[in-house]
């Protein structure tokens, strides 16, 4: 049984289920760093790894089976550390909270991690040509710490000749981001058609 259906039946209320990164991007698009921008790539670093999402022309990328936007599992180096997904060298194994902690304030170690993030963003540029890249969680913190290195790295590695105008921003909504995105998603049908949405499951 689908999770939304099970919740709906148990609660006798309409239920909707969303991927956390998609909800984070939805919140940033509605009220945060990506407000008013319709082609956005989002990367969020948390204790569980790196979540990713892409908004393309105002529509959230979902993919054929719902796994679109799993950018944390983008391969960065084939001989890298083993990832929870069973492969090796994914973005979230090469750049994670543990490695950031280990880097501390050491410039060369932070620059190496910034270079990994720049390579990932450059790859996403090739795929999506975004107007804005939003970085949340520890990736936002790394961006604040090494902004010049990341932006220079993206410019150096990006495919587009005009990569100079690519905008990168730190996520703006903080700890409530996922709840804001979830609320936006849950209430969207009601807001779109207040008279046509049942407030209890039928």
Q: Which residues bind Zn ion (CB under 5 A)?
A: 73, 83, 85, 90
> Closest separation between CB of residue 76 and Zn ion, Å?
10
Report the distance separating Cα 113 and Cα 107, nearest Å: 10
3-state SS assignment for residue 43: strand
> Of 85 and 179, which CB lies nearer to Zn ion in the complex structure?
85
> Closest separation between CB of residue 29 and Zn ion, Å?
26
> Of 83 and 150, which CB lies nearer to Zn ion in the complex structure?
83
Hey, what's the torsion of the CAs at 98, 151, 55, 139, to 10 degrees? 20
Report the distance separating Cα 13 and Cα 28, nearest Å: 27
> Of 7 and 97, which CB lies nearer to Zn ion in the complex structure?
97
> Closest separation between CB of residue 71 and Zn ion, Å?
10
What are the CA-CA distances from residue 131 to residues 20, 70, 71, 169, 192 (Å)? 22, 19, 17, 11, 27
For helices 137-145 and 147-157, angle between their N-to-C axes, nearest 10 degrees? 100
> Of 6 and 85, which CB lies nearer to Zn ion in the complex structure?
85
Give strand pairing partners of 50: 45
> Closest separation between CB of residue 159 and Zn ion, Å?
24
């Amino acid at each position: 049984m689908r999770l939304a259906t099970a919740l709906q039946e148990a609660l006798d209320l309409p239920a909707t289920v969303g991927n956390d990164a998609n909800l984070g991007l939805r919140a940033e698009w509605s009220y945060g760093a990506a407000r008013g921008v319709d082609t956005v790539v989002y990367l969020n670093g948390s204790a569980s790894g790196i979540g990713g999402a892409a908004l393309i022309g105002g529509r959230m990328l979902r993919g054929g089976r719902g796994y679109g936007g799993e950018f944390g599992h983008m391969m960065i180096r084939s001989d890298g550390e083993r990832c929870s997904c069973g492969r090796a060298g994914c973005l979230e194994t090469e750049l994670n909270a543990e490695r950031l902690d280990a880097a501390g304030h050491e410039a060369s170690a932070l620059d190496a991690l910034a270079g990994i993030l720049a390579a990932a963003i450059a790859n996403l540029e090739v795929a999506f040509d975004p107007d804005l890249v939003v970085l949340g969680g520890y990736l936002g913190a790394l961006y604040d710490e090494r902004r010049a290195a990341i932006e220079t790295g993206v410019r150096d590695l990006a495919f587009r000749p005009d990569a100079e105008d690519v905008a990168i921003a730190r996520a703006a909504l903080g700890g409530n981001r996922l709840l804001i995105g979830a609320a936006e998603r849950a209430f969207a049908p009601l807001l779109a058609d207040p008279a046509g949405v049942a407030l209890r499951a039928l």
